[in-house]
Structure 1
């Protein structure tokens, strides 16, 4: 059998068979918002991501980066001075308890990351399924869930977290888990309301009606059809809530709830201990924990706002390229003629 040739004389290549290759993957999906953004959006995304990665690296490699442990008060048999000024041994000074400020600030990033991950995972694991079930099933179950979530949402978030942390302090030994659960109670209603609203609008869509007509079970519809279509805005909310969770964690630590000082370093607790130092001109005990809170909250907020501007279709701005038309493509420019002149 001879191969057929095209008009140009080159042999035609046989068509390729087999399933098409998947283009991209997880990395391409992660990089998509950065490619789509431009201008201020890209600046917010890149800056927030860079600062967030630095904080995450500090948290992961805290034992290697920090000069001492968070509860170390002596080195080579000599105790650190209390409220000591920055020196070669303690570059950022020491606290009123004689701890190294640099070490406690770096280990504070690890504590914040641990609480943040647990709180976001718990909130997603509870809020998203409840929102899906409530929005799809409806009826009396939806009314009861909405009533409970609205009651929780009506409380000031910090007061609700304080009450939850106070009730769980004597029940769970780990202060990190207690703080994460207290923050979870605050943010579950937000995920519930967003997912429920999306489910209410999506359950009447054509593809859901087709799935019902084919006899699909409600659990199958929720898992296979609704879930992937109603969680589009959840990553943006999770990023913004993560920034707010840092402030809630600092507020609980400032009040002495949740994480005990002997268990882990926490920025809010260090700020509370440094209140008296500020009036005495001792600035280093409060400066660095405060900077840690400000940088973490700012970085996560920039990422969340940048993602919201890129992923939200109502706020999305696409770059429009101005077309360039060469004179050779349209012929030489000539003065316009009217129909009378042409006739």
Structure 2
């Protein structure tokens, strides 16, 4: 059995969003399930450290960091129509970014083969100068820059399966040939970025791989995209570390989007990512939580992810599949176009 680290701290609950969909109950429910299921004793718990300002400003402008810190110190408020800051949000966000770094450190230092950072607020929408889409600091981008700056990796693969495109992560690495960013996301949907032809620029040309999915895609469609697009791109890139923006809001029960993934499907994605990491970079694989707003779907999908990383073959899915009839979306044309744009031969 591979050792798996779980990074978590109760301070993440102090990012108080009230009745907002991105609430502290997301982590409360997940932690309760991990404990009640007996999974906790099989995991290596890692306490996160706060990210330093130097680590955060590898991705974000100092003025943005000050803006979030000052708003929290003043008691909080709304940054935009979707994104709220409370008095505890700055400290939670700094610890969330540090949680992603701590998860990376647990793998590098040999505490675990794989890790999952159970953090909030999420991060992949946050740009260099703007908090948005529930996100304050871009946790996964900060972890990737930490890997590169510390010379623990020269090539990093970021896989983003949140149902929303990670515009902030794309922006952070749009001109960087050291990071391959691969995103599956529903289109059209917030934030509206993530077209196939957004592929990077300069030394980063070809390092952004977007797969905009129509509504109604489920487990089979996601598995096909991973097999026919992600796997060949990853093998060509040869990453030395794999980071995952793990948003579980493509689940069929999620209230914010319209895809049809299941808990079993998320387990399959985790298994595919684990296999790629084992093949390409000695298993160095870290997940960091992004979205997912149906509490049962989220908690059981995270539990399934951890079970896969631990080596379990049997995964329980108490929610089952969506109550729909008919076939899912036909992605043949989409897959062919993404492969063409990225120089892969016809499948």
Query: Normalising by the residue count of structure 1, what TM-score does the alignment of the two structures yield?
Result: 0.27
- The higher radius of gyration belongs to 1
Q: Greater relative contact order (Cα 8 A, min sep 6): structure 1 or 2?
A: 1
Higher strand proportion, which one? 2
Higher helix proportion, which one? 1
